[in-house]
Amino acid sequence: MKKFLMFALAGMLLLSACGASGGEVIEAHDPWARPAMKGENSAIYLLLHNHTAEDDELVSVSSDVAASVELHESKMVEGSDMMEMTPVASVPLPADGEVEFKPGGLHIMLFGLNRDLKVGDQFDITLTFKSGLILKVTVPVMENMDDTHMDGM
């Protein structure tokens, strides 16, 4: 029994060491979503950090909280003070770089919410990258963190 416990402990240490050395190659920081009612739309914001020496690309996002999930970008309409929101097929993530999803810029749209998103709630999303990495992120629902970027919308 003593030998079995020692082998089990050694195996657990070996597995945890392998996981620690690889770690997450891409991290999501400070995710949050806007509150909204069932059937409405919401948006998710976060910071993605690529800790690898290779460029990567966010190619899709999914969640069971909405009928569909899309990558979007808001931009100023040339020659006006209006913003327009357009879908993007993917978001490049440079090697050892960051990409910020924020109000008035890149964001993740949730269309046709399956339930209310109230302040204090949380839900999961799955980020899929061109490299094959799949990253699960828990997103808290919060009041608008920074509406200063929303002027003109």
Is the pLDDT score of 6 beyond 80?
Answer: no
pTM above 0.85, yes or no: no
pLDDT category, 11, cuts 50, 70, 90? very low
Is the pLDDT score of 138 beyond 70?
Answer: yes
Residue-wise pLDDT tens digits, 57-101? 999 999 999 999 999 999 888 888 898 999 999 999 999 999 999
Residue-wise pLDDT tens digits, 21-39? 355 699 999 999 999 999 9
- The SS3 call for residue 38 is coil
Domain with residues 25-144, CATH architecture: Sandwich (2.60)
CA dist 132 and 105 (Å) reads 25
Question: Hey, where are the domains in the chain?
Answer: 25-144
Task: Tally Cβ neighbours within 10 Å of residue 33.
Answer: 25
Residue 132 DSSP code: S
